[in-house]
Amino acid sequence: MLIYKRILVKLSGESLMGKKGFGIDPDVLDFFSSEIKIARDHGAQIGIVIGGGNIFRGVSAHQQRIDRVAGDQMGMLATMINSLALQNACEQKGVFTRLMSAIHMQEVAEPYIRRRAIRHLEKGRVVIFGAGTGHPYFSTDTAASLRAIEIEADALMKGTRVDGVFDSDPEKNPDAKKYETISYIDVLKKDLRVMDLTAVSLCKENNVPMIVFNMNEPGNLLAILKGEKLGTLIKD
């Protein structure tokens, strides 16, 4: 029995690097696609948004004397590379997928149409949302919140490499305190940087719970869908 039937999973581009310093680690792709398949096979309807930071970050492009809008557009293309890689990994495991892009590239992906995306989910297909929101100045965190709201997801799952939300960086501070549950307002007030401010505010305004968890632990995704208290739950 799943507590969360329809979810939006947000993965960072950096998570695809694995132990590499750049690009995509095939072992990570294989692991993520296996976790997604297990959850899908248990009846979950899954949408996915992936960042592009392992390939290109629009925010840092300005330091390379690249115009911010052009840099963000390059970042959108980076998310499409990651999305295609994950789509391929999922389909090698027999998981039917659809890749939908916020920018027009009909030879590569379907255009994002909300009703079509929901229909794909209802048919048991994993839907990967690429190219962010299609607009500069908006992160893939914001895109994940937006898509979660649009597809009427039961929750937004933020997959990370730590066990939830902490009051400081647990990778630097061994005494960091983990929050089991925290409100959207406290996340914003404490500047915990779970996701960007726009993304958290969108979820708050539309009452979409956010769950931050360790995606690198086998079985965590399915366990959370079944209601196990892993990670950190963010809600009002």
Q: pTM for the full model?
A: 0.94
Burial of 185 (0-12, 13-18, 19+ CB in 10 A): exposed
Q: What angle do CA 98, 107, 156 make, to 5 degrees?
A: 30
Class in CATH terms, 6-234: alpha beta
pLDDT of residue 61: 61
Spatial contact of 55 and 64, defined as CB atoms under 8 Å apart: no
Strands 232-234 and 210-214: antiparallel
Domain boundaries, the chain: 6-234
Per-block mean pLDDT, blocks of 10 residues, the chain (236 long): 96 90 92 98 98 79 79 94 98 98 96 98 98 96 98 97 91 91 94 92 96 96 96 94
pLDDT of residue 65: 81
**Distance between CA 219 and CA 227 in Å, rounded?**
13
